[in-house]
């Protein structure tokens, strides 16, 4: 069988890296995309070039690492073009890049913070859709293309002093619902996955915003009474990327440990 091919953004660490690992272990070919360094308005360091390269290096020739900023359309276009050039097609696109900013009431949110949330977490999803959807549609019918965006439990419940993040993740869900409708009848689906509190660097950044010394305090909000592992969320994303998820589109899969129950 021809291996399926995916582009994953936000791939250097956390849930994005877990998605890359799981797809690669399932035999996929993957282009793993991330932007090393710092971003304006984001108070914590992002994944590193070394993390991205180390991830890709586990599967030489099967996982390709690309340094690109999802805020830049040309960079995302290049990642999709690389997937088609090196692997011959594109079957799934996973929009995992986002940042966590907040810690103040909405009315005190700065333009820099707002722009950081929406440029990476919403425009980045749009940019991936612009690049990836035409490639997904270039696969001959009958096709089973998949567009999956990482939303959040914050897309479904207001979180204290994270109103900007709430708004950005609500936007991701709305974007996915509209995209799924635009893709009606094509064989390509669009879905979102909303994680709960997961042991990632973003959760550590969230704890810092609240002045918490221990991220485990977030576990109390989830029915499973523990934090989630990135692999648990990635399992939901990986399933949605596959042809077996053909009945699911225009909706959200809540991989949140019961956070929003």
The set of catalytic residues is 165
SS3 of residue 189 by DSSP: strand
Q: Which residues contact 156 (CB under 8 A, 6 or more apart)?
A: 173, 194, 252, 254, 260
Q: Could you give the angle at the alpha carbon of 227 between the alpha carbons of 96 and 247, nearest 5°? A: 50
- 252 forms beta bridges with 192
Q: Are 148 and 95 in contact (CB under 8 A)?
A: yes
Q: What is the DSSP letter of 188?
A: -
- Residue 212 dihedral angles phi and psi, to the nearest 5°: -90, 135
φ, ψ of residue 95 in degrees (nearest 5): -90, 95
Q: Residue 203 is inside which H or E element, if any?
A: helix 201-210
Token duo for residue 211: 């002045």
DSSP lists the bridge partners of residue 148 as 94, 191
Residues facing 6 on adjacent strands: 30, 92
Helix (H/G/I), strand (E/B), else coil: 125: helix
Q: How far is CA 212 from CA 155, 163, 198, 205, in A?
A: 22, 19, 15, 10
Other Cβ atoms closer than 10 A to 8: 31
Q: Tell me the C-alpha distance between 102 and 112, whole Å.
A: 11
């Amino acid at each position: 069988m021809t291996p399926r091919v995916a582009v994953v953004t936000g791939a250097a660490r956390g849930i994005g890296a877990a998605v890359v690992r799981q797809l690669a272990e399932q035999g996929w070919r993957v282009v793993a995309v991330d932007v090393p360094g710092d971003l304006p308005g984001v108070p914590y360091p992002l994944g590193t070039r070394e993390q991205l390269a180390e991830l890709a290096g586990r599967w030489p020739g099967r996982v390709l690492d690309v340094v690109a900023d999802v805020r830049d359309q040309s960079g995302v276009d290049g990642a999709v073009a690389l997937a088609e050039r090196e692997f011959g097609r594109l079957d799934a696109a996973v929009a995992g890049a986002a940042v966590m900013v907040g810690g103040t009431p909405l009315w005190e949110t700065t333009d820099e913070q707002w722009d950081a949330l929406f440029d990476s977490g919403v425009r980045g999803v749009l940019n991936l859709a612009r690049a990836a959807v035409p490639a997904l549609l270039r696969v001959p019918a009958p096709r089973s293309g998949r567009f999956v965006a990482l939303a959040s439990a914050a897309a479904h419940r207001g979180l204290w002093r994270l109103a900007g993040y709430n708004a950005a993740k609500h936007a991701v869900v709305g974007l996915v619902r509209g995209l799924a409708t635009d893709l009606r009848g094509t064989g390509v689906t669009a879905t979102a996955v909303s994680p709960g509190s997961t042991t990632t660097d973003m959760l550590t950044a969230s704890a810092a915003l609240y002045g918490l010394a221990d991220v485990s305090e977030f576990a109390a909000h989830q029915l499973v009474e523990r934090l989630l592992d990135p692999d648990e969320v990635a399992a939901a994303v990986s399933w949605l990327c596959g042809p077996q998820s053909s009945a699911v589109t225009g909706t959200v899969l809540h991989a949140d440990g019961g956070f929003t129950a």
